[in-house]
Amino acid sequence: MRLFHNHLSSNGRRVRMVAEQLGLPLDIVKVDLVSESERARLHEINPNGKLPVLQDGDFMLWESCAIMQYLCDITPGQQLYPQDARVRADVNRWQFWACQHFAETISILAFENIWKGMIGRGEGDPAIVAHAEGELRQLGAVLDGHLAQRDWLVGEALSLADIAVVAPLMYLEKARLPLGDFPNLMSWFERIRQLDLWKNTEAG
């Protein structure tokens, strides 16, 4: 299987973490998002022009959480995506929350605090930053409260829910994410940072 990926993509890192945990080898195809020609080729395999994209034979799959679920479904005996319908619904809930709310808000701060200056668009907009920080604190409170009496988001072990939510925290320091005041969240993040699936997917 091939994964079209860029090491700056937290969505791609989600997929790599799942593959790492499942012991699935992936042939990583690095896509330079600055290159117009490579972006054009990316549009040929994903009409949205975004990463990651998984190629399994003649099957092309985009959207990180769909890829994560697919990798679990083709791996017998895996525990990241349990078969029980209610447990899966709970895992799905957190995956959707991660994509629609948590990661989306973090991406605003990452753009304003990191990428904007790197691409010559000037300093971050204080109003946009302040609004996004407020939104992220609200989301952080939700996550922190949920983790008050548990080590993992769903059940008693690591699942796709944790991986989906944690991936964009790779930008905790660089994007100056205002989450340091949430002890349960930070303890959960530290637990994941000690796992091989996090250590082995860090950018070189």
Using N-to-C axis directions, what is the helix angle for 10-22 and 64-73, rounded to 10°?
10
Name the one residue in this structure whose structure tokens are 């990463």.
Answer: 51
User: Which candidate, 165, 168, 197, 170, places its Cα nearest to that of 90?
Assistant: 165
- Position 118 scores a pLDDT of 78
The C-alpha atoms of residue 193 and residue 9 are separated, in whole angstroms, by 17
- Position 123 scores a pLDDT of 86
- Position 136 scores a pLDDT of 98
- Position 102 scores a pLDDT of 98
Long-range contacts of 192-198 (CB under 8 A, 24+ apart): 192/158, 192/162, 192/166, 195/158, 196/20, 197/17, 197/18, 197/20, 197/21, 197/163, 198/17, 198/166
- Position 9 scores a pLDDT of 94
Structure tokens that stand for 16 in this block: 């790599």
- Position 197 scores a pLDDT of 97
- Position 59 scores a pLDDT of 98
- Position 33 scores a pLDDT of 83
The C-alpha atoms of residue 138 and residue 120 are separated, in whole angstroms, by 31
pTM: 0.95
- Position 116 scores a pLDDT of 87
- Position 67 scores a pLDDT of 98
The C-alpha atoms of residue 168 and residue 188 are separated, in whole angstroms, by 14
Per-residue pLDDT of the chain (204 residues; tens, 9 = 90+): 999 999 999 999 999 999 999 999 999 999 998 888 998 999 999 999 999 999 999 999 999 999 999 999 999 999 999 999 999 999 999 999 999 999 999 999 999 999 887 777 788 889 999 999 999 999 999 999 999 999 999 999 999 999 999 999 999 999 999 999 999 999 999 999 999 999 999 975
